[in-house]
């Protein structure tokens, strides 16, 4: 039982990170119908932004909440800037091109970031700075909740609440939903579609930056190809929840995170990565629109 | 297919407006879809305060005309002037900000937003205070009381008539100088059509200029001052609506008499 609880705790913590990254995929897909393959590499860059920022600010070895929030914000800002630039310079010129061209461009941007990363950051793994010391907050029934897990969960959930508020209640969020429903109609409302798309990339990429810092704290080995596997899993999470569906991305992330912990705990860590892809195959076979996705029905 | 040997030009209210220049002018625009000519050079004037109807059969190019005015298509030649300035190369969202507001074909409702959110998006381009916008909601609800009852509902749950009301209400939230309406009567019960058309007349009396695209030629000509008849991408007839209504060819082709 205590083992079970521990797996749930770890799974929720991991799942909330997948969810943060999955949100970026799903938001961009919702507006552009584009799988932004470069998203996982934006995440990777976020980890390195955090790494260099901690060094530069000399807080790599002074773990505290101040250090944590500083690095979190810097990584988010760095990723937001990168996401904005990718959209502005790689995707926007192709706005009226066939979708496949944009998709291939996304793969190109992804490879570009990965291998530029190897040149700039080096291919050898680095150690993410220790910006938050870990301790056990409380334990019940033998399961332990650590400060790290709690911080990850609270940060991820906090960011998701902020995102939900933006999407549901602000004019920007309403314009984003309108644009994702129909870009042409949105422009007839006076909405600058380019601006909304930029904002979508900025917000989604900032969430990936936050995810990178959270992962970096928990699994501190960072390297330029670190985004590939977690990016694929987050993508599967987005598909599982229903791509384009924001609550779906959160649900998908949690399901994948928890399922992965169970596989590692009860079967074998060998199957850790196989799981996500098995889930992808099953979901595509039986419910291609995802758990919360709906086949849209239009009223005439 | 109708053949017109001459284009009849009746005396129009343009005569009365001789002193003023048109608010919106379409000058000989050509629009192509691939290699097909959708509009083969049409011209049209809209003066301040008018209701102009643009009638014609399915596929004549009526919607294309509106979509070109509002910036969704770019003509390969010709010009569109709004208040004397060319807008053919202006982006759709900027054209909306100028006050040319288009309620598109098929109503263009964001079905994933609530009724109130749709109205709020209608005021997106305006930089007005919340208070002003709230007053405008009340104005829209006074025109279409049914929307008030449903303001918290997702627009996808509305009936076709209610969606059309929302489409017009949302366009009005943008405070249009010229309201471009695409087939507001399409697929609606006669009673609802009457409601919609009386609202169009009401907002016109309050100062909004209207360019109305309709297949329902009779209803459109009844409320408009002037009309243009579009056939396979060309304007074949234009004149006072009252005269078009009594025109033999119009009666045969569009009014079913």
Write the ipTM: 0.88
Give the Cα separation of A186 and A192 in Å (integer): 8
Question: How large is the average pLDDT for residues B13-33?
Answer: 78
Mean pLDDT rounded to a whole number for chain A? 92
- Domain ranges for chain A: 2-286
pLDDT per residue as tens digits for the range A236-289: 999 999 998 999 999 999 999 999 999 998 998 888 888 888 988 998 898 888
- The full DSSP string for chain A is -HHHHHHHHHHHHHHHHHHHHHHHHHHHHHHH----TTHHHHHHHHHHHHHHHHHHTT-TT--SHHHHHHHHHHHHHHHHHHHHHHIIIIIGGGTTS-HHHHHHHHHHHHHHHHHHHHHHH-SS-EEPP--S---EEEEETTEEEEHHHHHHHHHHHHHHHHHHHHHHHSHHHHHHHHHHH-HHHHHHTT--HHHHHHHHHHHHHHHHHHHHHHHHHHS-EE-TTHHHHHHHHHHHHHHHH-TT-HHHHHHHHHHHHHHHHHIIIII-GGGHHHHHHHHHHHHHHH-TT-SS--------
Q: Which residues of A157-170 are buried (b: 16+ CB within 10 A; e: fewer)?
A: eebbeebeeebeee
Q: Please return the burial class of A67, using the count of CB atoms within 10 Å of its CB with bins 0-12, 13-18 and 19+.
A: buried
Residue B5 has pLDDT above 80, yes or no: no
pLDDT per residue as tens digits for the range A35-89: 999 999 999 999 999 999 999 998 877 888 999 999 999 999 999 999 999 999 9
Show residues of chain B in contact with A177, CB under 8 Å: 110, 112-113, 117
Determine the distance in angstroms separating the CA of B60 from the nearest CA of chain A, rounded to an integer. 21
Give the model's pLDDT for residue B255. Answer: 75
pLDDT per residue as tens digits for the range B155-164: 999 999 999 9
Q: Which of A178, A192, A299 sits opposite B113 (nearest CB)?
A: A178
- ∠B4-B10-B12 over CA atoms, to 5°? 135
- The full DSSP string for A55-124 is HHTT-TT--SHHHHHHHHHHHHHHHHHHHHHHIIIIIGGGTTS-HHHHHHHHHHHHHHHHHHHHHHH-SS
Question: How large is the average pLDDT for residues B117-144?
Answer: 93
What are the C-alpha distances in Å from A116 to residues A122, A124, A170? 9, 14, 37
pLDDT per residue as tens digits for the range A118-142: 999 999 999 999 888 888 888 877 7
Q: Measured in whole angstroms, how far is the alpha carbon of residue B5 from the centre of its chain?
A: 28
Q: With an 8 Å Cβ cutoff, are B72 and A171 in contact? A: no
Which of A13-17, A49-53, B10-14 has the least mean pLDDT? B10-14
Residue B184 has pLDDT above 50, yes or no: yes
Give the model's pLDDT for residue B2. Answer: 46
Nearest CA in chain B to A300: B160
Mutate to test the interface with B, among A185, A192, A296 (most CBs of B within 10 A): A185
Percentage of chain B exceeding pLDDT 90? 80
Residue A97 has pLDDT above 70, yes or no: yes
Chain B residues whose C-beta sits inside 8 Å of any chain A C-beta: 70-72, 91-93, 96-97, 101-102, 104, 108, 110-113, 117, 120-122, 124-126, 156, 158, 160, 163, 170, 174, 187
Q: With an 8 Å Cβ cutoff, are A190 and B156 in contact? A: no
Residue A77 phi/psi, 5° resolution?
A: -65, -45
Q: With an 8 Å Cβ cutoff, are B91 and A187 in contact? A: yes
Nearest CA in chain B to A190: B93
Show residues of chain A in contact with B70, CB under 8 Å: 188
pLDDT per residue as tens digits for the range A150-180: 999 999 999 999 999 999 999 999 999 999 9
Is A232 in the B-facing interface, judged by CB distances under 8 Å?
no
Mutate to test the interface with B, among A95, A180, A190 (most CBs of B within 10 A): A190
Is A178 in the B-facing interface, judged by CB distances under 8 Å?
yes
Please name the fold of domain A2-286: ABC transporter involved in vitamin B12 uptake, BtuC (1.10.3470)
Domains and CATH numbers, chain B: 1-99+211-257 (3.40.50.300)
Give the model's pLDDT for residue B8. Answer: 46
pTM equals 0.90
């Amino acid at each position: 039982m205590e083992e079970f609880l521990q797996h749930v705790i770890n799974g929720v913590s991991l799942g909330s990170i997948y969810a943060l990254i999955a949100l970026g995929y799903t938001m961009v897909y919702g507006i552009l119908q584009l799988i932004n393959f470069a998203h996982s590499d934006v995440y990777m860059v976020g980890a390195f932004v955090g790494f260099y920022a901690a060094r530069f600010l000399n807080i790599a070895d002074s773990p505290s909440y101040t250090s944590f929030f500083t690095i979190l914000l810097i990584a988010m800002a760095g990723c937001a800037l990168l996401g904005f630039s990718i959209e502005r310079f790689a995707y926007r010129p192709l706005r009226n091109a066939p979708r496949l061209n944009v998709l291939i461009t996304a793969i190109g941007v992804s490879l570009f970031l990965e291998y530029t990363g190897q040149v700039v950051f080096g291919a050898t793994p680095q150690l993410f700075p220790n910006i938050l010391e870990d301790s056990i907050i409380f334990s019940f029934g033998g399961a332990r909740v650590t400060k790290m897990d709690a911080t990850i969960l609270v940060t991820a959930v906090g960011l998701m609440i902020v995102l939900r508020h933006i999407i549901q209640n602000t004019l920007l969020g309403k314009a984003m939903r309108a644009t994702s429903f129909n870009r042409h109609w949105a422009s007839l409302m006076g909405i600058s579609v380019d601006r909304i798309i930029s904002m979508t990339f900025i917000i989604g990429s900032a969430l990936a930056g936050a995810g990178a810092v959270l992962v970096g704290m928990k699994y501190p080995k960072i390297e330029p190809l670190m985004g590939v596997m977690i990016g694929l899993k987050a993508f599967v999470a987005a598909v599982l929840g229903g791509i384009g569906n924001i609550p779906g991305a959160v649900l998908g992330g949690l399901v994948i995170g928890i399922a992965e912990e169970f596989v590692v705990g009860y079967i074998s860590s060998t199957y850790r990565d196989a799981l996500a892809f098995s889930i992808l195959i099953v979901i595509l076979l039986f419910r291609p629109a995802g758990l919360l996705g709906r086949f849209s029905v239009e009223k005439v | 297919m109708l053949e017109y040997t001459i284009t009849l030009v009746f005396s129009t209210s343009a005569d009365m407006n001789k002193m003023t220049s048109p608010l919106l002018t379409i000058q000989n625009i050509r629009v192509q879809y691939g290699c097909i000519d959708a509009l083969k050079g049409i011209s049209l004037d809209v003066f301040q305060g008018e209701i102009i109807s643009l009638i014609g059969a399915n596929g004549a190019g009526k919607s294309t005309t509106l979509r070109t005015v509002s910036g969704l298509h770019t003509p390969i030649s010709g010009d569109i002037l709004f208040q004397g300035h060319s807008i053919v190369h202006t982006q759709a969202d900027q054209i909306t900000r100028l006050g040319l507001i288009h309620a598109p074909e098929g109503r263009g409702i964001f079905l994933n937003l609530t009724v109130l959110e749709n109205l709020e998006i209608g005021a997106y381009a305006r930089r007005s205070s919340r208070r002003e916008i709230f007053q405008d909601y009340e104005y829209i609800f006074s025109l279409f009381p049914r929307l008030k009852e449903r303001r918290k509902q997702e627009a996808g749950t509305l009936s076709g008539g209610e969606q059309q009301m929302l489409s017009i209400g949302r366009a009005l939230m943008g405070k249009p100088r010229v309201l471009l309406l695409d087939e507001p009567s399409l697929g609606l019960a006669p009673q609802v059509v009457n409601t919609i058309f009386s609202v169009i007349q009401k907002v016109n009396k309050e100062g909004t200029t209207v360019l109305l695209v309709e297949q329902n030629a009779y209803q459109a000509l009844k409320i408009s001052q002037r009309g243009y008849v579009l056939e396979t991408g060309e304007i074949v007839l234009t004149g006072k609506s009252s005269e078009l209504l009594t025109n033999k060819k119009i009666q045969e082709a569009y009014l079913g008499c």
